[in-house]
Amino acid sequence: MSLATLDAATLYGLMGAVLVGIGLYGIVLHDVFIRRLLAFNLLGGGVFILFGVIARRGAGAGFPGDPVPQALVITGVVVAFCATALAITLIERLAAKDEASDGDDHS
């Protein structure tokens, strides 16, 4: 094992590592659900970029990157979007329910 050379892959790898930290910070410290969801997506972006770095370093056989991690990331991005869509709908319903029960309290 030796220190990685400073190339684009290493640079973006460090960026991905920082993004994971930022996302985690947001998830832990935010009370508002939608902000947590945003932070969760920031974290996801960082994890995907780390996969991209693995792919870039695995370049070979005439490909600019290892296709397998890239295919994994594409699946990941789509599934992350679906999870976000479901979570958003849950948050909306929860807010609507809270509003309705607040109304009951007042009446």
Partner 1 sequence: MLGLALDLLIAALVIGVALWTVRTRDDFAAIVGFVAYGLLLTLAWARLAAYDVALTEAAIGGGVTGVILLRASIRLKPVATARKPIGARILVGLLCAAISAALAAVVLLPMTPAPSLAIEVRTHLASTGLGNPIAGVLMAYRALDTFLETVVVLLALFGVWSLTPDAAWGGRPAMAVPAAAFGPLPLFGRLLIPVGIVIGVYIVWVGADAPGGKFQGATILAAMWILAMMAGLTQAPSIGRWRLRLLLAAGPIVFLAIGLAGIPLAGAFLAYPEALAKPLILLIEVALTLSIAATLGLLVAGPPDVTPGVEP
Give least dist CB 103 to partner 1, A: 13
**Would you state the structure tokens that stand for residue 42, as one six-digit string?**
């920031």
Cβ atoms of residues 90 and 96 within 8 Å = no
Q: What is the DSSP string of 10-21?
A: HHHHHHHHHHHH
Query: Which one, 3 or 107, has the nearer CB to partner 1?
Result: 3
Size of the site for partner 1 (CB under 8 A): 82
* Residue 82: C-alpha distances to residues 19, 29, 77, 98 (Å): 21, 24, 9, 24
First-residue to last-residue Cα distance in the chain = 69
Q: Does 2 bind partner 1 (CB under 8 A)?
A: yes
Site track 7-36 with partner 1 (rule: CB under 8 A), x = hit: xxxxxxxxxxxxxxxxxxxx-xxxxx-xx-
* Four-CA torsion 50, 54, 80, 27, nearest 10 degrees: -20
Query: Which one, 82 or 105, has the nearer CB to partner 1?
Result: 82
Site track 38-77 with partner 1 (rule: CB under 8 A), x = hit: xx-xx--x--xxx-xxxxxxxxxxxxxxxxx-xxxxxx-x
Q: Does 37 bind partner 1 (CB under 8 A)?
A: yes
Q: Does 85 bind partner 1 (CB under 8 A)?
A: yes
